[in-house]
Amino acid sequence: MADPTTPTRAGFEELYRRLEEAERALARGAQISPEERQKILAERARSLASSREEERVARERLEVVAFRVGGERYAVPIGAVDEILDIKGLCPLLGAPHHVLGALVARSRIVPVLDLRQLLGLEGGGMSDLSKVVAVAEGEELLGLAVEDVEGKLELPRPDGPSSSTGPFLFVTAERLAVLDVARLIEPAPSAAG
């Protein structure tokens, strides 16, 4: 019995036939009229221009995951979101600072969970108000943000000016949605570093 992976004479003949057809098609293409050539080039230019416009618009927009904490609306850039978890299974960490609620295990990784109400000085209820954890990553660092409710993905216009210099915020929208800077949340507080 012949090996099906071994090329046969009929297989090579088919290959040569296809190559000859391709060469004939290329030769016919070289004989395109100047009007037809202009039409093809104009279509290619339109296609390139529209893709560049789409890229420009994408650079001007920021996709975020929005959520509620302490009665306020917050968001993080979608690129920083690792996953969204249920808060069930949160284990307390003895001796942890007040803003650290505990830790979860997700995909064989330990995720420390922060209470944004404590970090941001918000009035808030108890643990029963918190239902989800938005796990965010910055480089190799991973942490969870305990939230009351996840609104979902939003597209926001990027701000014109520089990011906020105070607090862990990138910017605040006109609708009072505060976009958090994940890197500032993860970096240690100055008092802890010293």
* Boundaries of every domain in the chain: 9-59, 62-193
Answer whether 146's CB lies under 8 Å from 120's CB. Answer: no
For the chain, give the percent of residues with pLDDT over 70. 79
Interval 114-133: pLDDT, tens: 988 888 887 766 777 888 99
Reported confidence tier of residue 102, pLDDT bands at 50, 70, 90: very high
pLDDT digits (tens, 9 = 90+) for 136-176: 998 888 999 999 999 999 998 877 665 556 778 888 888 88
Higher-pLDDT residue of 8, 127 = 127
Tokens encoding 174: 């006109």
Span 167-192, average pLDDT = 78
Contact 153, 64 (CB under 8 A): yes
pLDDT for residue 13:
83
CA distance 116 to 180: 11
This prediction's pTM:
0.64
- Nearest C-alpha neighbor of 109 from the set 82, 86, 132, 138: 82
Report pLDDT digits (tens) over 26-41: 776 666 677 877 887 7
Residue 180 has pLDDT above 80, yes or no: yes
SS3 46: helix
Helix/strand/coil percent split, the chain, to 5: 35, 35, 30
The listed CATH number (3.65.10.10, 2.40.50.180, 3.40.50.800, 2.60.40.420) that belongs to domain 62-193: 2.40.50.180
Per-residue model confidence as pLDDT tens digits over 36-83: 778 877 887 777 777 666 665 556 788 999 999 988 999 999 999 999
pLDDT at residue 123, rounded to an integer: 73
Radius of gyration of the chain (CA): 28
Residue-level pLDDT at 134: 95
pLDDT in the model for residue 113: 94
